[in-house]
Amino acid sequence: MLVEKKFFTPGPSALYPTVSAHLNQALKDNVASISHRSNDFRAIYQDATESIANLFDLPPGFAVLFTGSATEIWEKILLNCVAETSMHFVNGAFSQRFYEFAQQLGKKAVCQEVPAGDGFAVESMEIHYKTELVALTHNETSTGVAMPLEDIYHVKDRNPKRLVALDMVSSAPYPNLDFNKIDTAYFSVQKAFGLPAGLGVWLVHEKCLSKAELLESKQCLTGAYHRLSTMWQGFEKYQTQATPNVLGIYLLGKVARDMLSKGIATIRAEIAERAKKLYAFFEDSADFEIFVKNPRFRSDTVIVANCLKQSSAEIVTKLEQQGLIIGQGYGAHKAKQIRIANFPAHSTEDFETLMQALKDLR
């Protein structure tokens, strides 16, 4: 029997409900065939940046740049914003990988590490005195740990002269982040944005550009492909260095507008409400246990539970037979954990179906 699949995987995940209509319209409008040097493309880029700026309430001084992935943005941040020393808050596989990139690029990377499932006690965190950039992760997708916004602001308040970079890959646009308190943030679109993979979105403040220009004036290598200064010049004319993912940029602009017309506050409230219910269910369940012990660090967008009675593979397979696709644990936690995404693309109704199926698991 063929059942319709609903994806609650942490990424790629369910598509935002309006994507298929926009995709059809894009084909009718030849979006995938137009030149990226045309005015039509410029209009698409401008539309996407304006709707993203509205959705995130970006203050002046920020550019909206496009890459192929969030992973690419790690490399761009390190090359363009760090001469020598970056400091990384590591609490899972993704924050760890950013740290490793810094090492691979020959930076003096410093890290503060806590075990999987933990958050950071930012009050007592020592920042290495040479740190130029602090790398934070709002939502560590591998463990379901989120960093409270006040903690992010605390780091910036204590380090006003250092750059703060924020990974929001598996949470944006859920957190109502004050962009005056960070210098750059980034995400890719196949997670909480509910779009096809292949597009990274880099929100970057002029302070980062100044740093890149300073490095270039000292003959530091900031990259050839997608160096920040070239990308910024392109952004000012709604142009890109190479042929970009025009279709992805088009869809992003449309979906960001749809989120605005639904109301970003409504979307955020729905996600918070569903997270509360799912955590309450796991708390009471004899079959599961919440992985992140401290409620302050629990993610609302990627919810991770330990499986107490069956393996995660068994649970995933049973749900899949009902068309409900969830994630297994990440890396070493694969066999014993499940991960459930709670994104703007999910309806409260579908979420309830999933919770009922979890309750009925035998």
Which residues bind to ligand PLP, rule: CB under 6 A?
11, 69-71, 94, 137, 141, 167, 169-170, 188
Q: Please say which residue, 147 or 208, places its beta carbon nearer to ligand PLP.
A: 147
Minimum distance, C-beta of residue 70 to ligand PLP, in the bound complex (Å): 4
Minimum distance, C-beta of residue 236 to ligand PLP, in the bound complex (Å): 26
Minimum distance, C-beta of residue 214 to ligand PLP, in the bound complex (Å): 27
Q: Please say which residue, 138 or 274, places its beta carbon nearer to ligand PLP.
A: 138
Minimum distance, C-beta of residue 90 to ligand PLP, in the bound complex (Å): 12
Q: Please say which residue, 65 or 70, places its beta carbon nearer to ligand PLP.
A: 70
Q: Please say which residue, 215 or 326, places its beta carbon nearer to ligand PLP.
A: 326
Strand ranges (E), the chain: 6-7, 62-67, 85-90, 108-113, 133-137, 139-140, 145-146, 163-167, 184-188, 200-205, 288-290, 302-307, 324-325, 327-328, 337-341
Q: Please say which residue, 144 or 253, places its beta carbon nearer to ligand PLP.
A: 144
Minimum distance, C-beta of residue 362 to ligand PLP, in the bound complex (Å): 32
What six digits make up the tokens of 235?
A: 């952004």
198, with CB counted inside 10 A (0-12, 13-18, 19+), is middle
Q: What angle do CA 304, 194, 30 make, to 5 degrees?
A: 160
Q: Please say which residue, 84 or 225, places its beta carbon nearer to ligand PLP.
A: 225
CA distance 303 to 8: 10
CA distance 194 to 176: 18
Q: Assess contact for 8 and 326: CB atoms under 8 A.
A: yes
Q: Please say which residue, 164 or 215, places its beta carbon nearer to ligand PLP.
A: 164
Minimum distance, C-beta of residue 193 to ligand PLP, in the bound complex (Å): 11
Q: Please say which residue, 52 or 215, places its beta carbon nearer to ligand PLP.
A: 52
Minimum distance, C-beta of residue 160 to ligand PLP, in the bound complex (Å): 25
CA nearest neighbour of 257 among 83, 115, 52: 52
Number of Cβ within a 10 Å radius of residue 93? 16
How far is residue 74 CA from its own chain's centroid? 12
Q: Assess contact for 32 and 246: CB atoms under 8 A.
A: yes
| Beta-sheet pairing, 288-290 with 302-307 | antiparallel
Q: Please say which residue, 47 or 167, places its beta carbon nearer to ligand PLP.
A: 167
Minimum distance, C-beta of residue 215 to ligand PLP, in the bound complex (Å): 24
Sheet of 288-290, strands arranged across: 288-290, 302-307, 337-341, 327-328
Minimum distance, C-beta of residue 122 to ligand PLP, in the bound complex (Å): 18
What six digits make up the tokens of 257?
A: 């507008």
